[in-house]
Amino acid sequence: MRRPANHLSTWRPLRPWRIPTGRPLLARPVAADGVLAAAFFAVMLVEQLGPAAGADTGTTRAVMFAAAVAGPLACRRTAPLASYLVGTAALSVEALWGLENPLSPYANLIGLYSLGLHASRTRAWTGPFAAFLGMIAYFTGQQERDVWSVVPAGVLFLWLLVWAIGFGAARRLEERDATQLRLREEVIAGERARMARELHDLVGHTVNVMLIQAGATRRLLTRDPERAREVLGQLEDSGREALEELDRVLGLLRRTAPAGSQPKLGDLSRLTDRMAQAGISVAAQVDPGRDELPSSIDMSAYRIVQEALTNTVKHARAGSADVTVRRVGDRLDIEVSDDGQGAGNGYEPGRGLLGIAERVSILGGRLEHGQGEQGGFRLHVSLPVR
């Protein structure tokens, strides 16, 4: 078998020194800290071994202390507490041996800031105590024996201020992350509630209609086979429409269905036809002004009417229902009433009414439900139209 002509021409050797991602080297925190530590190490060596340094400064000791003070900066993010403690100990020993380097305190100051910023809340609080003890060791060469005389107040204040700046920044980052997490959880909870409402409205309505149709078929099967066959056809149509609408709802939840596929008030005729098949006559009066409604209001109004009629099928034992949708100024009024048995004393809303209440609350509307003026059950919703 012949190999493709470009089999070898497309091969490229792996260059391990290349960074796999397109991020610059200094954009990586660990690499940047390594560069910072190396820079401090080099400058400290120049300070200790340069022309201005004393003649008694040994190269080995200079390299050792420069590495001990500057080296921990390479781990100031990954191990901030250990990095600061090692740097502070090295700074103290350096001072006790009389090898004070004027750059060493600055490296220690960066380590203290990093401890406040990158350590956990508990570990970060060791910073002020470690800084104070390190200062005692650093300034112990002075003749004063009183601790507060040994440690200059201005230096202590500066060190604590730098630690506090890092600690405060870390706490603000924690609060921001906690707020983002809380918002994300609220979004997830809201999305779950929305999915529950959509599926409840769809499945609850269709299944109840299909149950009534199935019960009617069972009763007509022996008395009127032709009528039973007709109701079975309606049952089949209801199931097919339910599957189509379920597919549309799932498509919306997955963001794969176009926005125009959402049900609207213009689709109420299908809803009323389905209710008629369940034996409930629905008279719907829809204001023509609905054509100017935002899509969210239009879809929510349809779902509210659908759930209200579902409750009529499930609980009201009604023979007819009236649906009125009209635009009144900057509000949309929705009213659904039936001639059923009405609401009993002390009734409690079920999942259907709770779902309607959630929709209305999200849209900033008002909801009323209960016994109708002429009996039956009445539901009234007023939604602001923005």
Q: Is the per-residue pLDDT at 243 higher than 80?
A: no
Q: Band the pLDDT of 12: cuts 50, 70, 90.
A: very low
Q: Which segment, 110-114, 204-208, 234-238, 300-304, is predicted with the most confidence on average? A: 110-114
Comparing 222 with 168, which gets the higher pLDDT? 168
pLDDT tens by residue, 172-183: 988 888 887 787
Residue 145 has pLDDT above 70, yes or no: no
Distance CA 98, CA 105 (A): 14
Residue 304 has pLDDT above 50, yes or no: yes
Q: Stretch 288-295: mean pLDDT, rounded?
A: 72
User: Are 362 and 384 a contacting pair, CB within 8 Å?
Assistant: no
Of 30-39, 218-227, 314-323, 349-358, the range with the lowest mean pLDDT is 218-227
Choose between 20 and 69: higher pLDDT.
Answer: 69
Locate 104 and state its tokens: 């060493």
Considering only residues 58 and 232, tell me which one the structure prediction assigns the higher pLDDT: 232
Angle at 348 between CA 286 and CA 238, to 5 degrees: 45
Q: Mean pLDDT across the chain, nearest whole number?
A: 76
Top-confidence residue, 138 or 250: 138
Burial of 220 (0-12, 13-18, 19+ CB in 10 A): middle
Whether pLDDT at 33 is above 70: yes
Query: Which CATH code for domain 191-384?
Result: 3.30.565.10
Q: Give which of 120, 125, 122, 106 is closest to 163, Cα–Cα.
A: 125
Band (8; pLDDT cuts 50, 70, 90): very low
Least confident of 59-63, 215-219, 262-266: 215-219
Structure confidence by residue, pLDDT tens digits, 58-93: 678 778 888 888 889 899 888 999 999 998 888 888
What's the pLDDT band for 6 if we cut at 50, 70, 90?
Answer: very low
Residue the block writes with tokens 């997830």: 188
β-bridge partners, 283: 322
Predicted confidence at residue 56, as pLDDT, reads 54
**141 confidence band (pLDDT: 50, 70, 90):** low
Residue 168 has pLDDT above 50, yes or no: yes
Is it the case that residue 10 has pLDDT exceeding 50?
no
Domain boundaries, given as residue ranges, for the chain:
25-151, 191-384
Q: Is the pTM value of this prediction over 0.75?
A: no
pLDDT in tens, 120-138: 889 999 989 988 888 888 8
- State the Cα torsion 215-218-224-230 to the nearest 10°: 60
